Amino acid sequence: MSLKEWFGKGKKGDWVDIGAPKKDGKFQKCGRASTKGSKRKYPKCVPRSKALSMTKKERESAVRRKRSKPQGVGGKPTYVKTDKEKGNPSEDKFLAKHMRMQYKKKPNMTDAERKRELAIGYNKYENRKKK
């Protein structure tokens, strides 16, 4: 991506700081003039289109996760994913394995049967975690 795209308007440009919203609901431009003497905390920057598509809680979560990490270690910026990971990968793998076994036993499952089997698989996963 060129600097022209990054700083310009549009889908990939026009970056804003979601950690410093204005009172009217708009966002300040990304970055800050100086770290010394600045009242603004470390910025979490995203494209304006992404910021507008996020809920207030999603924005707060992204800012909280970024600010919880040490900033500027080794002179490099700190990166944190804007979207929080959904679900537990080990849980998903376990449920997928459980459902594959069930589909082999009964390939033409109805939606109700599939939901019941998913609930059974999830309960098995939870019980396995407790051990």
What is the reported pLDDT for 114? 78
The per-residue pLDDT string of the chain (131 residues; one tens digit each, 9 = 90 and over) reads 666 666 666 566 688 889 888 888 788 888 776 666 666 678 888 888 888 888 989 899 899 888 888 877 887 888 888 877 666 656 667 777 777 777 777 778 788 887 888 788 777 777 776 65
Domain that holds residue 46: 3-75
Answer yes or no: is 17 within a domain. Answer: yes
**pTM tops 0.85, yes or no:** no
Q: How far apart are alpha carbons 94 and 88 in whole angstroms?
A: 10
Query: Are 66 and 121 contained in the same domain?
Result: no
The answer as to whether 23 is a domain residue is yes
Shared domain check, 52 and 29: yes
Judge if 68 and 100 occupy the same domain: no
Do 62 and 106 lie in one domain? The reply is: no
Query: What is the rounded (10 degree) CA torsion for 36, 49, 59, 16?
Result: 10
Our count of domains for the chain comes to 2
